[in-house]
Amino acid sequence: MWLRTAFALLLVALLGAPPVARAEAPPLAREGLIFESSFEQGDLRGFYWHNNKPEVVGAPHPVRAGERSMRAYLHRFESENPYRTEVIVGSSQDAPEGTERPLIMEVGAEYWIGFSIYIPPDFVPDTFRLSDVVFQMQATPDPGEDYRSPVFALEIDEAEWRIIVRYDVRRESPPGNEFTDNQTIARPALGAAVGAWTDWVIHVRWAYDDSGYLQVWRNGEQVLERQGPNCSNDERGPHVAIGLYKWPWRPNAPAQWEHRTDNRLFYYDEFRIGGAGASYAAVAPGDGAPSGAAQAVAPPPEPTQPPAPTLEPTPVPTPTPTPTPPPDDILSRLLRWFQALREALTG
Ligand SMILES: [Ca+2]
Ligand SMILES: [Ca+2]
């Protein structure tokens, strides 16, 4: 009897099963890439978002390449969430938008990351050190550990870009936001980046020991070269968030902080991430220089003559941790849904 059943099952498996319908993923145009989006498909596929959802837009909005870009807008008093409009890079670039599964990098492995960011011409620099985090890579905590400030952050602080690196050599990080080290390691001037696209390329080997390294280029010009630890001592490596985290607008911020603006708008385009088999050219935005005023374009990079990093302690206040909280998101969505339902019912 069991033999007949097994035979029947085998027949079904061989004949009845549908042909292997593996969706052909669009080929990655450049070598060594893991994830690529220029937002040309019109939605946020491959990404999910934290708090406010960014929009995919086209002309007349600025676009770095192709016909679309991602618009991250935030209003301190009018947006549903007052401090964050950003996406997390997901584990598959073809996943439907909102699939909450981050692309987690590996500690000890090498990555190339490229993207472009547009700062509108009416950008209002905020008060010194009430920075905008415009791109971040955040550690993936071990079980029992807290989410904390990102291990890599690109921020805009008054009239400067600011690149922050934090690392923690302790396997078990204590609660709170203390790191082994937490430094602003480069402060290139914002300069002509206002009203223009700025291309960024990051080359990193994640490590919490001396085998780590980090290189950063802005519009083809190397602005950072750093050897040494650059992440947390975790089982899994960091993940990537693109968009705006305006931490000084969190509701628990000190009331006496003087804010010079209530809204922020940035555009993003040409995001790519590749592994050790990628290269500068594989992740660099566009087909060449961005158009606009900010383009001091150097030929990309034989990374030989790095500028000496200017080390300085990262100022307080340190941004509060950037949680990656699917449970919170679900809860807050449920709450919003419930509130909407209640409003509908109560007229
Ligand atoms: Ca595009
Ligand atoms: Ca850990």
Q: What pLDDT shows up at residue 191?
A: 86
- Cα 140 to middle of ligand 2, angstroms: 8
- Cα 144 to middle of ligand 2, angstroms: 9
Q: What pLDDT shows up at residue 91?
A: 97
Q: What pLDDT shows up at residue 88?
A: 98
pTM for this prediction: 0.78
Ligand nearest to the CA of 237: 2
- Cα 109 to middle of ligand 2, angstroms: 17
From the number of C-beta atoms within 10 Å of its C-beta (0-12, 13-18, 19+), residue 187 rates as middle
Q: What pLDDT shows up at residue 291?
A: 43
Ligand nearest to the CA of 39: 1
Segments in the chain below pLDDT 70? 1-29, 288-347
E strands in the chain: 33-37, 47-51, 55-57, 69-75, 84-89, 110-119, 132-140, 152-157, 160-167, 181-186, 196-205, 213-218, 221-227, 236-245, 263-274, 312-313
- Cα 254 to middle of ligand 1, angstroms: 38
- Cα 124 to middle of ligand 2, angstroms: 38
Q: What pLDDT shows up at residue 20?
A: 42
- Cα 281 to middle of ligand 1, angstroms: 17
Q: Which two tokens stand for residue 156?
A: 């805009």
Ligand nearest to the CA of 63: 1
Q: What pLDDT shows up at residue 136?
A: 98
**d(C-alpha 304, C-alpha 302), whole Å:** 6
Ligand nearest to the CA of 41: 1
- Cα 304 to middle of ligand 1, angstroms: 31
